[in-house]
Amino acid sequence: MDYISHMKRFNKLMALAVVCAFISSAVAQTCVDSTLIDPGMMCPTIWDPVCGCNGVTYGNDCEAVYFGGMTSWVNGECTGTALDCVDLGGIDFGACDMAMGVVMWNGSCTYLSGCGWEVDGTDYSAYSFSSIEECQSNCAETAECIDPSIADPLIDCNIFEPVPVCGCDSLTHFNECVATHVDFVTTFATGACSGDCFDEARVDENMGCPEIEDPVCGCDSVTYSNACEAWYYGGIAQWTPGPCENVQVQQMHASKSFRIFPNPTHGTLQIDAFAGAPIQVQLLSLSGQVVASAQLGLSRTWEMPMRLASGTYFIQIQAPHEHPVSGLVVME
Give the pLDDT confidence of 39-60 residue by residue, as tens digits.
777 787 788 888 887 778 888 8
CA distance 249 to 315: 9
Q: Residue 219 above 60 pLDDT? A: yes
User: What pairs with residue 260 in β-bridges?
Assistant: 271
CA distance 270 to 259: 8
Q: Residue 117 above 80 pLDDT? A: yes
The CATH superfamily assigned to 248-332 is Macroglobulin (MG2) domain (2.60.40.1930)
Tell which CATH classification among 2.80.10.50, 3.30.1330.10, 3.30.60.30, 3.30.70.1050 matches the domain 205-247: 3.30.60.30
Least confident span in 80-84, 104-108, 202-206, 299-303: 104-108
pLDDT on residue 240: 92
DSSP-assigned letters across all residues of 47-72: ---EEETTS-EESSHHHHHHTT-BS-
Residue 275 sits at the vertex; the CA angle it makes with 274 and 277, to the nearest 5 degrees, is: 75
Most confident region among 102-111, 134-143, 232-241 by mean pLDDT: 232-241
Q: Residue 249 above 70 pLDDT? A: no
Q: Residue 19 above 50 pLDDT? A: no
Provide the pLDDT confidence category of residue 120 given band limits of 50, 70 and 90: confident
- The predicted model gives 255-263 an average pLDDT of 64
Residue type (1 letter), 84: D
Q: 226-259: buried (b, 16+ CB within 10 Å) or exposed (e) per residue?
A: bbbbbbbbbbbbbbeeeebeebbbbbbbbeebbe
> CB–CB of 252/325 below 8 Å?
yes
Residue type (1 letter), 229: E
- Listed in order, the ranges of the chain carrying CATH 3.30.60.30 are 205-247
Nearest to 199 by CA among 152, 245, 235: 235
- Listed in order, the ranges of the chain carrying CATH 2.60.40.1930 are 248-332
pLDDT on residue 288: 64
Return the HEC string of 120-173.
CCEECHHHCECCHHHHHHHCHHHHCCECHHHCCCCCCCCCCCCCCEEECCCCEE
CA distance 30 to 183: 16
Phi, psi values for residue 142, rounded to 5°: -75, -40
Q: Residue 256 above 70 pLDDT? A: no
More confident residue, 8 or 278: 278
> CB–CB of 81/134 below 8 Å?
no
Q: What is the largest CA-CA distance in the chain?
A: 81
pLDDT on residue 42: 79
Q: What is the pTM of this model?
A: 0.43
More confident residue, 235 or 36: 235
pLDDT on residue 105: 80
